[in-house]
Structure 1
Amino acid sequence: MKDILDAISAPDATPADYAAIPLPESYRAVTLHADETGMFEGLASADKDPRRSMHVDEVAPPELGPGEAVIAVMAAAINYNTVWSAIFEPLPTFAFLKRYGRVSPLAARHDLPYHQIGSDLAGVVLRVGPGVNMWKPGDRVVAHCLSVELESAEGHGDTMLDPEQRIWGFETNFGGLAELALVKTNQLMPKPEHLTWEEAACPGLVNSTAYRQLVSTNGAAMKQGDNVLIWGASGGLGSYAVQYALAGGATPVCVVSSPAKAELCRAMGAEAIIDRSAEDYRFWTDTGEQDPKEWKRLGSRIRELTGGEDVDIVFEHPGRETFGASVFVAKRGGTVVTCASTTGFTHEYDNRYLWMNLKRIIGSHFANYKEAWAANRLIAKGRIHPTLSRSYRLEHAGQAAHDVHKNLHQGKVGVLCLAPAEGLGVTDHETRLRFEKAINRFRAPAGVLG
């Protein structure tokens, strides 16, 4: 690994220099173990601890196939799919790996007794497989998490509709929480050069997801003047939704859970903010039924903040806890666009408010390559900024996932993989100086943890 790091830190290293560095016989990776998938049986989701299931192991580099690349991972990030993976919900990810392993002899590499997880990275290309022309060793890259085979016609209008579409590091192996990762080269995008490795690693999944969900015609097709209700507006996903709403001339109505998170939304430029803890919204009764009076109270509060208008779009991802309220508060003809269910996958809502008011529910899942590229381009131009709050060392990735699981974080949390310290990787210092305040907006003072 020292030779790899030396080349990355050398400003004049060439593709031939990188190609001449032998890959190590093993590398460190955050893994789940197939023989531990029953360790949380009988526990409620909230009581399942990722620190118990996430290991840092020495593993062997995978075989490099056509159209693929081996990446030296400088930094990665925690997403909610990392939490799902680590608590084995809604089912152990080894079922995904077995299914993928049956696709082809090459895909069989992914069906292992361990799962190297993680769906974000920033790093440097070390090797490319046959048929790769766009990327070469030494390229500084970030990766989006869409893995597709593209052998079916259905995927060629929108690659998210490919029947063999998967999320890398969640439904495939060799993810980003490691010193080396394996990706398809159509996952790669240029690293924004005004960002550090850990900052560049954080936007990939959530930034692309928010772009498709709000901006793309595959999602809500947000336009100027729209009012957008954003649940968890200071979180890893919501913090990008707030930025897209503001950048696109819409009005974000930010729902948060503390005064500190409300202040973060104000710092991004939002003015309409609901602290649901302070205002004590209880959408479910103690007997397990939804309370429409609370939906109406939320709707009235939204109209107070928007000058009497309902929201055109609801940016949904909590799922079960909030979905009934989301359907209710969307305006007549409005849209609820959902990409996740972090509080539960079974949603209940009053369908009268949907069909009689001509509302729409749109399912949105990550993004296709074009959408991910467009979202990354906005990061590179300084129009959208990373929301990194803190970083953890690779050996403490379990703690990072625990903190996300318990909602102890804000924005995104990063993981240093090969990067020896925070703050490395910036080559465009002029652009960074222009946007440094916005880049550091979510930073916690504690720095690297672990």
Structure 2
Amino acid sequence: MDLLSKAALNGAPPDELERLPLPDEFLAGHLRAEDAEAVDRAAGTDVRRTLHVGLVPMPELAPDEVVVAVMASSINYNTVWSAMFEPISTFTTLRRYARQGGYATRHDLPYQVVGSDASGVVVRVGAGVRHWRAGDHVVVSPAYVDDQDPGSHDDGMMGTHLRAWGFETNFGGLAHYTIVRATQLVAKPPHLTWEEAATITLCAGTAYRMLVGDHGARMKQGDVVLIWGATGGLGAYAVQMVRNGGGVAVGVVGSRAKADLLRQQGCDLVIDRREIGMGDDADPRADAAELGRRLGRIIRAEVGEDPSIAFDYVGRSTFGTSVHVVRRGGTVVTCGSSTGYEHSYDNRYLWMNLKRVVGSHIANLREQTECVRLFSRGKLVPVLTSVYPLERVGDAARLVQQNRHLGKVGVRCLAPSDGLGVTDPAARARIGEERLTAWRRHAAAVPAPAGAAR
């Protein structure tokens, strides 16, 4: 660990952090362009073979950027996609970005530092940064917004040059240092540990925009909300938001262990997808309308009405059923497709019943700040289960790739152990240690698929 890292970890004052030099290179979880050419996609890529941990050079800092000493990060499915080089290699995306010229050219390298979550300490600010200084404790939003793009001034997510940091850019969060735009920073909730705080921006912020914000489904009190993958990072935060907002949370999961956890967390109705014929061995050509009818019967029997909203980030295997099952005038809000990007559905159920499909992506800075405020006030709590050191980032990503995780999988970067980073122990005590760490008791609760490599 270099001197600056040690100083940031030990809470050095701003003048000391500014005086210590940035290291010439730092440890990072990264992909290599050469692997993108060699990998056999048809055989299915084990992300442990393509996620490398090693030293990379420190890039030049742009005027609107900051350098953050990363204490912790987490695994999101976009890192899994990147490491599989699916649906296209993200090195192609980096080359396209570099064509903008200027500081964008830095991103086109033979390696990509990945990761779209981070918590840490600001150690450098660019000449154009006004609201942050060295020593600030922050979490990083993955919304990489161009603040000179006209579209971003209506909604940051509508800018033409919007990118997902650490996925469509270089210098992501799975590293000892990351370089981010000042518009990505939100103050870290002071009662959370580094590893807890590193799990809240991408998934919770995305769920907030999908459900609560003006640009999503606009959930209201009493809405029945169907949540696919309700013990994943996105789904678990969605359950909390639905219940906080006076809605009825209907969570769908794929195992008894996940169902038990969801009931413990207070989900109003828990459905094992195997009950409707959507087990791991289900026919992928199954009729989505028939699956929707089965699902709808269960929901109506338990809560008395069809869902107003379907919260769908699973994609190919669920989307057609989501379109069918939401009520007349209902909304399917989607932000991803972990089971595949090409969706099939019967359009009659959409147009003839006046339903809506809303595409949603990350969260703008205001939405992200409002979401993090809910954590600061104890209205939302982290869903962190497992934590890995950076050196084992491949194992952490493999857990997510095989869907053997619950909640969020954290990665310690500079933090040498769990439990560090709390600067408001009184708030932590008030919110409750047991509540804040409830998900930690359920790490690695699902077994590996039959025949899966370990």
> TM-score scaled to structure 2, two decimals?
0.94
**1:260 paired residue number:** 257
What code does the residue aligned with 2:328 have? R
What code does the residue aligned with 2:4 have? I
CA offset at residue 277 of structure 1?
2.7
1:305-338 CA distance string (max 9 Å, x none): 21x2000000011111011110011000000000
CA offset at residue 284 of structure 1?
9.9
2:289 to 283, 292, 295: 292
Contact 2:8 2:123 in 1 (8 A): no
**2:351 paired residue number:** 355
**1:160 paired residue number:** 157
Query: What is the CA–CA distance in structure 2 between the aligned matches of 1:324 and 1:406, rounded to whole Å?
Result: 23
2:88 to 88, 91, 94: 91
CA offset at residue 237 of structure 1?
0.6
Q: How has the CA–CA distance of structure 1 residues 304 and 446 changed in structure 2, closer, same or farther, with 3 Å as cutoff?
A: closer
Alignment root-mean-square deviation, CA: 1.7
**2:28 paired residue number:** 29
1:411 to 389, 392, 407: 407
Query: What is the CA–CA distance in structure 1 between the aligned matches of 2:299 and 2:242, rounded to whole Å?
Result: 16
Contact 1:282 1:294 in 2 (8 A): no
1:125-140 to 2 correspondences below 5 Å:
125-140=122-137
1:117 to 110, 114, 118: 114
Query: What is the CA–CA distance in structure 2 between the aligned matches of 1:212 and 1:20, rounded to whole Å?
Result: 39
Correspondence 1:430 to 2:417: no
CA offset at residue 261 of structure 1?
1.2
Correspondence 1:192 to 2:209: no
What code does the residue aligned with 1:402 have? R
What secondary structure does 1:443 align onto? helix
Query: What is the CA–CA distance in structure 2 between the aligned matches of 1:285 and 1:134, rounded to whole Å?
Result: 52
Contact 2:276 2:291 in 1 (8 A): no
User: Please, which runs of 5 or more residues in structure 2 have no aligned partner?
Assistant: 445-454
1:146-186 CA distance string (max 9 Å, x none): 11223232221001010000000000100000001000011
1:104 to 83, 91, 101: 101
What secondary structure does 1:206 align onto? helix
CA offset at residue 281 of structure 1?
3.2
**1:217 paired residue number:** 214
What code does the residue aligned with 1:382 have? G
What code does the residue aligned with 2:178 have? A
1:386 to 360, 382, 385: 382
> Which of 281-290 and 210-219 deviates more?
281-290
What secondary structure does 1:127 align onto? strand
Q: How has the CA–CA distance of structure 1 residues 283 and 370 changed in structure 2, closer, same or farther, with 3 Å as cutoff?
A: same
**2:3 paired residue number:** 3
Query: What is the CA–CA distance in structure 1 between the aligned matches of 2:184 and 2:356, rounded to whole Å?
Result: 31
1:211-250 to 2 correspondences below 5 Å:
211-250=208-247
**2:449 paired residue number:** none
What secondary structure does 2:4 align onto? helix
Contact 1:394 1:417 in 2 (8 A): yes
Contact 1:283 1:321 in 2 (8 A): no
**2:18 paired residue number:** 19
CA offset at residue 388 of structure 1?
0.4
State the number of aligned residues: 443
Give me the identity figure in percent: 50
**1:51 paired residue number:** 48
**2:450 paired residue number:** none
CA offset at residue 9 of structure 1?
4.6
What code does the residue aligned with 1:4 have? L
Q: How has the CA–CA distance of structure 1 residues 310 and 249 changed in structure 2, closer, same or farther, with 3 Å as cutoff?
A: same
Contact 1:283 1:294 in 2 (8 A): no
What secondary structure does 2:358 align onto? strand
Contact 2:194 2:415 in 1 (8 A): yes
1:50-75 CA distance string (max 9 Å, x none): 00000012111110111100110000
What secondary structure does 1:396 align onto? helix
What secondary structure does 1:230 align onto? strand
Query: What is the CA–CA distance in structure 2 between the aligned matches of 1:267 and 1:432, rounded to whole Å?
Result: 21
What secondary structure does 1:43 align onto? helix
Correspondence 1:269 to 2:229: no
What code does the residue aligned with 1:196 have? T
Contact 1:264 1:441 in 2 (8 A): no
CA offset at residue 26 of structure 1?
1.2
1:116-165 CA distance string (max 9 Å, x none): 00000000001000111110011111100111223232221001010000
> TM-score scaled to structure 1, two decimals?
0.95
CA offset at residue 397 of structure 1?
0.4
User: Please, which runs of 5 or more residues in structure 1 have no aligned partner?
Assistant: none
**2:248 paired residue number:** 251
Q: How has the CA–CA distance of structure 1 residues 287 and 141 changed in structure 2, closer, same or farther, with 3 Å as cutoff?
A: closer
What secondary structure does 1:69 align onto? strand
Contact 2:296 2:306 in 1 (8 A): yes
**1:63 paired residue number:** 60
Contact 1:267 1:441 in 2 (8 A): no
Query: What is the CA–CA distance in structure 2 between the aligned matches of 1:364 and 1:189, rounded to whole Å?
Result: 21
CA offset at residue 437 of structure 1?
1.7
> Which of 397-406 and 289-298 deviates more?
289-298
Q: How has the CA–CA distance of structure 1 residues 249 and 445 changed in structure 2, closer, same or farther, with 3 Å as cutoff?
A: closer
CA offset at residue 446 of structure 1?
6.7
